[in-house]
Amino acid sequence: MMQETRQDRIEMPEDVILRVDNLTVSFRTPSGLVRAVRGISFDLKRNETLCIVGESGSGKSVTGRSIMGILAGNAIIDAGHIYYDGQDLLKLKEADFYKIRGSRIGMIFQDPLSSLNPIMKVGKQLTEALILKNKMTKAEAKKRAIELMHEVGIPEPEKRFNQYPFQFSGGMRQRIVIAIALSMEPEILICDEPTTALDVTIQAQILDLINKLKREKNLTVIFITHDLGVVANMADRVAVMYAGKIVEYGKTEEIFYDPKHPYTWALLESMPALKQKGQLRAIPGTPPNMLFPPKGDAFAPRNKYAMKIDFEKEPPFFKVTDTHYAATWLLHPNAPKIESPVKDLVRRVRGEKDEL
C-alpha cells in the first residue's frame, strides 16, 4: 500500500505543470477495439501554449479529454499516467477529480452551440459553477459573471446576462464558453478546436482573446487544432500527431522552418499558399483504420520517402535539437539523406507578406 502511494506521487521539475507519460487509450466498439491513442508522452511547461496538430481521428481530442477525465463510457485506459500537482489524474476517484476538473483545468470545446444548454439563460450557466463550487451568493455570482463577460469582450453584459444562447452569434457564444471556463480561474486551459466552427474574421478575434487572457491570467494552454495557420499564431511548442502517436514535437520555429518528419512535410505542403498556382501536393490515400493499427510507421503507406524498415519497425524518437524530436527512420544515421521538400516553404509564405 505504501509503495503504491509513493509510486503515485512523483516530483516534477519546477517548470513542468503537467506530464503525460505513455498514455494509451482504446475504445470498445461493436467491431473491435479502436486504438485511439497509442502511447504518447509530453511535458507541459508553465505558461506556455502547446499546440497539438493532427487530422481527425489522430487522437488529439482524446488526449485532451483524458486530461480532463471526461472520456466516453466505452473508453479503456490501457496504460500510462497523467501527472498533475504531484498526483496521477488517471488513478483519482471521481470524488477527488471534481475538485480539479473545471477549477484547476478548464476546457473549451469545438462547437459553442452544443456546449451550451439551449434552454438555460446564459447568466445562469455562467453563475452555476460559481454558486455551487465557490459558495457565492447569487448577487455576488452575478456581479462576477458580468465582470467575466466584460473581460471576454461581450458588449452590454447586463442585458446579455438574461439572454439565451440562441440569441448570441457564433463568436459571442464561444466567448461565453470561454468566460464559463475562466470563471473558476483554472491554471491550465485546454482548447479543443475552439475556432473550427467559426469564420476567419471571428476566428482572429477569438484567438486574440485567448492570447490576451493567457497573458493576463498566466494561463497554460493546450491548443488542439488541425489548422497550421492557427498553430503558427498561437503556439510556443507544437506536437504533431498521426494515428494516435506523436510523430514530431519541438518549438514552433523548429516545426515550421525545419520539420523532419515526412508527415509534417506533407501537411505543410498540402496547404495552398496564397501565391501558389499549379498542382497542389496532396497526401495520397487515407488515414489508417485504427481498428487495425498498422505495423511499423503508421504514415509509411502514404509516404513517398518510406523505406523498407518503415513498414516493419516503429521508429523511435530521434533528437534533432534539445527541444526538437521526430520519430522517423529518416533521421537514423544509416538512412539516405533526403532534402526536405518544404525548405522553400518559408520563402513561399514570406513572398506574400508584401501582398497582404
Chain residues that interact with another protein, rule: CB under 8 A: 55-56, 169-170, 199-205, 207-208, 211, 226-233, 235, 252-253, 256-257, 266-268, 270-274, 276-277, 279-284, 286-287, 345-346, 349-350, 352-353, 355-356
Bridge partners of 245? Answer: 242
The helix (H) or strand (E) run that includes residue 147 is: helix 138-151
Cα 87 → chain centroid: 22
Cα(283)–Cα(287) distance, integer angstroms: 10
Cα(297)–Cα(116) distance, integer angstroms: 40
DSSP codes of every residue in 189-223? EEEESTTTTS-HHHHHHHHHHHHHHHHHHT-EEEE
Which C-beta is closer to another protein: that of 101 or that of 160?
160
What cell numbers appear for 276 in the block?
501558389
Least separation, in Å, of the C-beta of 212 and another protein? 9
Which C-beta is closer to another protein: that of 101 or that of 260?
260
Which C-beta is closer to another protein: that of 177 or that of 231?
231
Comparing CA positions, the residue from 323, 317, 319 lying closest to residue 254 is: 323
Least separation, in Å, of the C-beta of 238 and another protein? 9
Phi-psi map region of 275: left, alpha, beta (phi>0 left; psi -120 to 50 alpha): alpha
Least separation, in Å, of the C-beta of 325 and another protein? 18
Least separation, in Å, of the C-beta of 242 and another protein? 10
Which C-beta is closer to another protein: that of 86 or that of 272?
272
Which C-beta is closer to another protein: that of 253 or that of 314?
253
Which C-beta is closer to another protein: that of 96 or that of 199?
199
Which C-beta is closer to another protein: that of 68 or that of 327?
327
Least separation, in Å, of the C-beta of 58 and another protein? 9
Least separation, in Å, of the C-beta of 88 and another protein? 33
Interstrand relation of 87-88 and 75-84 (parallel, antiparallel or unpaired): antiparallel
Least separation, in Å, of the C-beta of 287 and another protein? 7
**CA-angle at 347, arms to 341 and 348, nearest 5°:** 75
Q: Residue for cell digits 532534402?
A: 339
**CA-angle at 20, arms to 19 and 25, nearest 5°:** 160
Which C-beta is closer to another protein: that of 80 or that of 194?
194
SS3 category, 68 = helix
Cα(188)–Cα(35) distance, integer angstroms: 26
Least separation, in Å, of the C-beta of 240 and another protein? 12
